[in-house]
Structure 1
Amino acid sequence: MRGSFEYAYQLFTSYIEKVRPVDPNLVFDIQTKSCKDKRFIMYFWYFGPLIKTYKLLRPVIVIDKTFLKGRYRETLLTTIAIDPSNHIFPLAFLVTDSETIKSWTYFLEMFWSNFHGYDTQFVVISDRNPKIINDVSKVFLFVIHMFCAFHILNNIKTTLESMMIACRMAAEALSCIDFDKYMNTI
């Protein structure tokens, strides 16, 4: 919370090393650009107790991303589940410099390799991001992949709103060229 971003990122690996004696099942993996260059490309982690409680959660995993603010503007990929009391339960995290097919593949493979041993079939919910759609079918072979209704609803609203604007612009067009231009956008 205080200090520079550089200092905070330098402390991250030492923070993980301080957590490890308390949580020996902590999984942490960091990918760097090279052995000499200690700048990370991405790092994955989840806390050990999650493996034990994962069996008690509903068999629905939600995967999504968010953009971190600040100087470096990384992307945070997350998996969450819902417990029986309808509370959000974060499972695993990956911080990466950008959302790419490589980062999604790495994240989903790390998640699967650590959480798959429980012989439970589950549903994966995500937005309709093509990077996620392709990776889910490759990494999770026997899961049902559904799309988030919230994202679909927002896409429909945006599409309908832009279509309504285009229809109004076409109706108010003063020339055939403008009318055709607006109708072609619909």
Structure 2
Amino acid sequence: IRGIFEHAYQLLTSYFAEVRLVDPNFVFDIQTTSCKDKRFTRCFWCFGPPKKTYILLRPVVVIDRTFLKGRYHGTLLIAIAINPRNHIFPIAFLIIDSETTESWTYFLKIFGSNFYGYDTRFIVISDRNVKIINVIPKVLPFVIHILCAFYISNNIKTTLKSTKIAFRMVAKALTSIDFDKTNECYPEYKSSESSIHTRYSQGNMV
């Protein structure tokens, strides 16, 4: 019913060509080995028109990766944004053999050139991935890179268990006044704030 993996990868170029007939702004880049059999190495795609799509989205992008299941496995890198109605909007994808510094560099370069350009400030959210942390300042030096609050919260559950509830309250504070009030209500968080800041501050992200 689902076909075979080899045939599915062989159809990628034809499939993307058909998509481009419907969406002329569709962006894709399929790379193969230089040998005669042209083995698949990686594939990037994003639905367009990228520049116009960006205008409709909030200037916040979340990037992450997940593992692909199947005969050939692989890794999927993805970038998503949020529209004005708080709906998730997937914007760019990359299929690769494995997650490396080079693959993140390629992904963020082509993503940035098609969506934001290199002179536009926006926020990138990720987990505490050393590869991402090292690549972003080089490829997208104008972005503001922050760590995911959910990721930090899950880490605090194991490293600072007594502060996990307080951290969630602090993370949800929308103003400095709310932030200060939360600190006063949870003295156990305030006493641990220094160690949390040291562990997850910009200078200690790696």
TM score, norm. by length of structure 2: 0.73
Q: CA deviation at 1:159?
A: 4.1
Q: Which amino acid aligns with 1:137?
A: P
Give the distance between the partners of 2:88 and 2:125, measured in 1 at CA: 14
Q: Which moved more, 1:114-123 or 1:100-109?
A: 114-123
Q: Which amino acid aligns with 2:75?
A: T
The within-5 A match list for 1:1-186 is 2-117=2-117, 120-159=120-159
In the alignment, which residue of structure 1 is the partner of 2:173? none
Give the distance between the partners of 1:158 and 1:70, measured in 2 at CA: 33
Give the distance between the partners of 2:28 and 2:160, measured in 1 at CA: 44
Give the distance between the partners of 1:151 and 1:58, measured in 2 at CA: 21
Q: Contact 1:64/1:79 (CA < 8 Å) preserved in 2?
A: yes
Q: Contact 1:63/1:77 (CA < 8 Å) preserved in 2?
A: yes
Give the distance between the partners of 1:160 and 1:119, measured in 2 at CA: 38
Q: Contact 1:55/1:118 (CA < 8 Å) preserved in 2?
A: no
Q: Which amino acid aligns with 2:2?
A: R
Give the 3-state SS of the residue equivalent to 1:80 in structure 2.
Answer: strand
Q: CA deviation at 1:84?
A: 0.6
Q: Which amino acid aligns with 1:122?
A: F
Q: Per-residue displacement from partner, 1:110-152 (whole Å, max 9, x unpaired)? A: 0111112496421110111000001111111111100011112
Give the 3-state SS of the residue equivalent to 2:30 in structure 1.
Answer: strand
| Structure 1: gaps of 5 or more residues | 162-186
Give the distance between the partners of 2:119 and 2:101, measured in 1 at CA: 27
Q: CA deviation at 1:25?
A: 1.2
TM score, norm. by length of structure 1: 0.80
Give the 3-state SS of the residue equivalent to 2:22 in structure 1.
Answer: coil
Q: Per-residue displacement from partner, 1:69-96 (whole Å, max 9, x unpaired)? A: 1111111101111001000011111000
Q: Contact 2:42/2:96 (CA < 8 Å) preserved in 1?
A: yes
Q: Contact 1:59/1:120 (CA < 8 Å) preserved in 2?
A: no
Q: Which amino acid aligns with 2:4?
A: S
Q: Which amino acid aligns with 1:79?
A: A
